[in-house]
Amino acid sequence: MLLAWSVAEAVLREDLASRPLVLLVVLVVLAPLLWRRSHPLGAVAVSFGTLTAVDVARILLGEEAGLLFSISAVSVLAYALFRWGAGREAAVGLGVILVWLVITHVADPEGAAEMVAAYGFFLFAAALGAAVRYHAKTRTREIDEAKAREREQLARDLHDTVAHHVSGIAIQAQAGRAVAASHPERATEVLAVIEDAASRTLTELRTMVGVLRATEEADFAPRPGVADLERLAGDAEGGPQVHVDLLGEFDDLSPALDAALYRLAQESVTNARRHARYATRVTVRVVGNPERVQLTVEDDGVPSTPVGNASGYGLIGMRERATLLGGTFHAGPTAGRGWRVEAMLPRAGTAL
């Protein structure tokens, strides 16, 4: 577009002394615009260096030869310099532009107002480029942070879902080995339970993978919540019996809070079955009041070392869930025998 504009202007204007020379100078000045993003300082150096050389020649020769109006497009270089250039490049390039402004003012003396306006225009273009660059970097950083949060949430969901079912499978397999020799019929029952747990694990994994691969609006299955805590109750083969007590109102819980309560309880029960030695009972107690919901999971076993291991991802994930919802989380041995997990979550918490 600028090339066509320059050629048309060179042909139609009558006040040009040397049309071919003027057109050549303008094309040399405008050509670096093609590299304003990849090499902003180089583009500024070539364009404004050429303009400076022309103005110095005009001063020495005492001529007032005019240039084409299309040359005004070089003003975009001040913006490009701060939009895509590094800090040092931007400073050097701005210095080149300001030097040219001084020399061109000598070649074409103008009033103070015009000079101030010229400086203000280029400085505004530079400030605009810096502002857009800052906004773009901020937006990129926000996107990266959002991706990191998504990865953390996915890691928690995978751990809470897969680890729970796989731990149950491992416990059932151990129980099956113990009773296989003396009670073969019990071993068959254990295998059926293992098959059911493996099927549910595979179904949940496929659901999660389907959501991740969906390019359009996905058909999300309802997340398990407080109403589904009864699934955790019962007596697992080779593990402690789980009792669930629900006290209070849970009808108006937000989806994030509802799902977090289930995942916290699920992970706590899984840890108790996996690490609480000699445990016979695990109690899950959820108390809801108008302002907050309290979850307590306690067993009567002897904690093994892995439960208190700070490097485990289970406790880290549970603490992250509680913190994201504006609540508190504590896990540790009780005064007597056993291990207790406590989470206090406000009803008006931050959504996951």
Residue at token pair 């991740």: 212
Predicted confidence at residue 324, as pLDDT, reads 80
Higher-confidence residue: 301 or 213? Answer: 301
Q: Tell how far CA 208 is from the center of its chain.
A: 19
The Cα–Cα gap between 319 and 310 comes to 12
Give the residue ranges of DSSP H helices in 31-111: 40-61, 76-84, 87-107
Containing H/E element for 281?
A: strand 281-288
Distance of CA 253 to the CA centre of its chain: 27
Query: What digits encode the pLDDT tens for the residues 192-248?
Result: 777 777 777 777 777 666 666 655 554 455 678 888 888 888 655 567 888 999 998
pLDDT confidence of residue 352: 45
Rounded CA gap, 232 and 236, in Å?
A: 10
Q: Higher model confidence: residue 191 or residue 243?
A: 243
The lowest-confidence range among 45-49, 55-59, 245-249 is: 55-59
According to the model, what pLDDT value does residue 344 have? 92
Query: Which residues are within 8 A (CB) of 62 and not within 5 positions of it... i.e. 6 or more apart?
Result: none
Query: At residue 140, what is the residue type?
Result: T
Task: List the structure tokens of 133.
Answer: 């660059």
Q: Alpha carbon of 348 to those of 107, 238, 254: distances in Å?
A: 69, 39, 8
Tokens of 235: 């007596």
Return the DSSP state at 117. H
Mean pLDDT of the chain: 79
Residue 330 β-bridge partners: 342
Contacts of 100 (CB under 8 A, 6+ apart): 48, 51, 52, 55
Q: What is the pLDDT of residue 311?
A: 43
- Angle at which helix 87-107 crosses helix 40-61, to 10 degrees, equals 20
Whether the per-residue pLDDT at 286 is higher than 90: the answer is: yes
Both structure tokens of 258: 């509802």
Nearest Cα neighbor of 26 from 14, 36, 18, 15 is 18
* Bridge partner residues of 246 (DSSP): 286
pLDDT tens track for 237-253: 567 888 999 998 888 88
Distances (CA, A) of 154 to 212, 315, 343: 10, 16, 21
Which segment, 172-181, 217-226, 295-304, is predicted with the most confidence on average?
295-304
- Specify the pLDDT at position 306: 46
Count CB neighbours of 19 within 10 A: 13
Distance between CA atoms of residues 69 and 75, nearest Å: 12
Of the chain, the percentage scoring pLDDT greater than 70 comes to 84
Alpha-carbon Rg for the chain, nearest whole angstrom, is 36
**Nearest 5°: phi and psi at 274?**
-85, -35
Q: What's the distance, Cα to Cα, between the start and end of the chain in Å?
A: 50
Summarize pLDDT for 26-38 with one digit per residue, the tens: 888 888 888 988 8
Return the residue matching tokens 């504009």.
Answer: 5
Q: How far is the C-alpha of 228 from the C-alpha of 230, rounded, in Å?
A: 5
Place of tokens 């490049």: 89
Q: Does residue 147 have a pLDDT over 80? A: no
What separation in angstroms does the CA of 52 have from each of 63, 106, 157? Answer: 15, 11, 63
pLDDT, one tens digit per residue, over 89-128 is: 888 988 998 888 888 888 777 777 877 888 888 888 888 9
pLDDT of res. 308:
42
Q: What 3-state DSSP class applies to 225?
A: coil
In the chain, % of residues over pLDDT 90:
9
Can you tell me the mean pLDDT for 251-257? 82
Structural contact between residues 167 and 274, judged by C-beta atoms closer than 8 angstroms:
yes
pLDDT tens per residue across span 287-296: 988 889 999 9
